[in-house]
Structure 1
Amino acid sequence: MTLIVTGAAGFIGSCVVRQLVAETDELVVSVDALTYAGNPLSLGDAQASPKHRFEHADIRDQPRMQAIFEQYQPRAILHLAAESHVDRSIHGPAEFVSTNVVGTLTLLQVALDYWRGLPEPRRSQFRFQHISTDEVFGSLSATDPAFEETTAYQPNSPYSASKAGSDHLVRAWHHTYGLPTLMTNCSNNYGPYHFPEKLIPLMILNALDGKPLPVYGDGQNVRDWLYVEDHARALRLVLEKGRPGETYNVGGAAERKNIEVVDTLCNILDELHPQSGPHHRLITYVTDRPGHDRRYAINFTKLESELGWRPQENFETGLRKTVQWYLDNPEWVQSVRSGEYRNWLEMNYAGRTQAA
């Protein structure tokens, strides 16, 4: 029994791989192109396990992906490979369309050909699981109800538009060709091994370095925060018990304004690492991101009622675990602080003026 995980050296993908290797007896095949955000060190102890294989491959390379499917004969693929940073998508949208849309199309074609050739009962048991985002649904006002699986798509950034395109392809491959697909749309993830361009790890590492904590606009933008280990557990549950053709929302039941997230981080850092504090003095309001969505919120009632999932971590416990992990793992942090990452921070933040 074999599972393929794409984007396996990324933040969420590596968490899924670590859980699968630690808690199941299946062979897990990690596929990753190892672009700037992919780091094999994020696979942790799974790297050395006999239950794990790593394939350095790009999901857009159809012959290579066909060869991987043929070699390993998976019972399912968990597709997490994606370009995922909104700011990067604003600066360079073409790469997002190429990876997220064309890459997903390539995988769907490869999986469809493979699935059609499977004998029963393997054919009816195969699953193509596509992991997406709540950002495809657009922006909510302060009083709007949370996103449901039936919420109309209204993506507002190049990133979310590319993910919406990939979602539509997955849906079409199920309805047109019968490919047994599963899809999830999650809220903002946080936790260990998070690449430090996203809000929480960026704030932690900047605070430890005594650098400004850049908060976009007025800091009132709201996100629903999901601890990555909870998300990985949800994905595994959907894979085993979800109904083919269905979509399941995965949320953390933890809506927070961005400034509230940063304030909480500062309080935790003041306690756990007081030598670099007080940390609130570093908060700096900067020019907002273009088209910045105001609020996201996830209704995961379907996942809870059908499959019995709820997050195990609340925001405060998960955030404390996250801060402690970054304090305990400076080697990993150093490994991802490549020249490209530093160049990106310079490009994205250096030109932003301090807000009045």
Structure 2
Amino acid sequence: MRVLVTGGAGFIGSHYVRTLLAGGYPAFAGAEVVVLDLLTYAGTRTNLPDHPRLEFVHGDIRDPEAVAAAMAGVDVVVHFAAESHVDRSIRGAADFVSTNVLGTQVLLQGALDARVSRFVHVSTDEVYGSIDEGSWTEDRPLEPNSPYSASKAGSDLLARAYHRTYGLPVCITRCSNNYGPHQFPEKVIPLFVTNLLDGKKVPLYGDGLNVRDWLHVDDHCRGIQLVAEKGRDGEVYNIGGGTELTNLELTRRLLAAVGAGEEMIERVPDRLGHDRRYSVDWTKIRTELGYEPRRSFDEGLAETVRWYRENRAWWEPLKARA
């Protein structure tokens, strides 16, 4: 078996690659892995192991020739590659549209030409918009509110269209907020942890009452793998973590984890178009594929904080670059 992982040098993609190569997904035991990554600011080779079954290709998912070469002989595509930071998309949307929409179309066409047997398109709960109460099911209309989430919604619709029009065996996953080791230090948990480790304040948007559901990267990748193995072609699967917190509650937990007080919170103006609450219903992936999150949030957060405390050599250069 040969698996192409796009964006495999990033946070979630590299976790998937490391777990696969370590034997964590028995159905893919012995698989050869090709990582296609442009190594933009958020991707780094230091996230990937040296391994005889790993081939790294430095290339752009928007480049049809690079995609065709990487796709040769591939059985399964797991597509993580994306511009993903909402704040950056607000400052400039063009790269998000180009990478997330056009790049996904190039990959889908490459997969169709190569006749791959499964294409897993990794997306986000942000495509649904904001929900005041209850949780989104997979048939919820897409109502994205940021340039980032709009670009991901566009890529989701392209993936669906390639299944409906051409019969490409595509599945789409939509996850809640991920956290864990190796996350680039612009996202809220690693940004806040690394700031606090350096004695700096943490910037909390608005009233801090925006709600997110937190999902450990290992649980997310296990959900993706279940979809890769057993998902139904053309279907969407939500992947949630089951821990909803306001940003203020999350911040207080991070302060406690590093022994800091609330004087380290710096209130900043709210993000433009800031969605109030995200919450996915993951009944479908649980009942169809047997998914359940295994990592408790308290345990996972403590492990994550410890990792950043012990791995300054990894995050300091990345944070300086960002």
Instruction: Give TM-score scaled by structure 1 length.
Output: 0.88
> Is the Cα–Cα contact under 8 Å of residues 222 and 255 in structure 1 kept in the other structure?
yes
Q: Please say if residues 137 and 152 of structure 1, whose CA atoms lie closer than 8 Å, have aligned partners that are also in contact.
A: yes
Q: Quote the offset at 1:298 in angstroms.
A: 1.1
Q: Which amino acid aligns with 1:84?
A: S
**AA of the residue aligned to 2:143:** Q
Residues 1:216 and 2:198 aligned together: no
Partner in structure 2 of residue 137 of structure 1: 128
Match of 1:203 in 2: 192
Q: How far does the alpha carbon of each residue in 1:43-90 deviate from its partner, in whole angstroms, 9 at most, with x for none?
A: 2xxx211111111010001011111222xx111100000000000000
User: In the alignment, what sits opposite 1:232?
Assistant: 221
Which residue number in structure 1 is paired with residue 266 of structure 2? 284
Provide the secondary structure at the position in 2 that maps to 1:4. Answer: strand
For structure 2, which runs of at least 5 residues remain unmatched after alignment? Answer: 24-28
RMSD over equivalenced CA pairs, Å: 0.9
Counterparts of 1:240 and 1:39 in 2: how far apart (Å)? 28
Is the 2:6–2:80 contact (alpha carbons within 8 Å) kept by the matching residues of 1? yes
Q: Distance in 1 between matches of 2:218 and 2:262?
A: 28
Which position in structure 1 is the counterpart of 2:39? 34
Kindly indicate which of the two structures has a greater share of residues assigned to helix: 1
**What residue is the counterpart of 1:301 in the other structure?**
283
**Aligned pair 1:243/2:248, yes or no?**
no
Match of 1:55 in 2: 57
- After TM superposition, give the deviation of residue 279 of structure 1 in Å: 3.7
State the partner residue of 2:26: none
CA distance in 1, matches of 2:149, 2:319: 26
Structure 1 residue 315, shift from structure 2 partner? 1.3
CA contact (8 A) 2:74 2:114 kept: no
Alignment of 1:2-21 (within 5 A): 2-21=2-21
Which digits, 9 at most, give the CA deviation of each residue in 1:276-297, with x for residues without a partner?
Answer: xx34221111100000000001
Deviation digits for residues 236-271 of structure 1 (CA, Å, limit 9, x no counterpart): 11100111111100000010000100100111111x
Matched pairs, number:
317
Q: Distance in 2 between matches of 1:299 and 1:49?
A: 37
Q: Is the Cα–Cα contact under 8 Å of residues 269 and 279 in structure 1 kept in the other structure?
A: no
The residue type paired with residue 41 of structure 1 is T
Alpha-carbon separation, structure 1, partners of 2:257 and 2:320: 27
1:352 corresponds to which residue? Answer: none
Deviation at 1:147, TM superposition (A): 1.0
Shifted more, 327-336 versus 92-101: the winner is: 327-336
Which of the numbers 293, 297, 304 marks the counterpart of 1:322?
A: 304
TM-score by length of 2: 0.97
Q: Is residue 313 from structure 1 mapped to residue 315 from structure 2 by the alignment?
A: no
Q: Is there any run of 5+ residues in structure 1 with no aligned partner, and where?
A: 116-122, 271-277, 342-356
Residue 84 of structure 1 corresponds to which residue in structure 2? 84
Q: What is the alpha-carbon distance in structure 1 between the residues aligned to residue 135 and residue 157 of structure 2?
A: 21
Amino acid at match of 2:205: Y
Q: Deviations over 1:88-146 (max 9, x none)?
A: 0000100000000000011011111111xxxxxxx6xx0011000000000011xx210
Which amino acid in 2 is paired with 1:50?
P
Task: Look up the match of 1:259.
Answer: 248
How far did 1:5 drift? 0.2
Contact preservation (8 Å) 2:34, 2:70 = no
Matched residue, 1:166: 155
Tell me, yes or no, if the aligned pair for 1:207 and 1:279 is still in contact at 8 Å. Answer: no
In structure 1, the partner of 2:136 is 147
Quote the sequence identity (%).
53
Secondary structure of the structure 1 residue equivalent to 2:131: coil
| Matches of 1:86 and 1:60, distance apart in 2 | 21
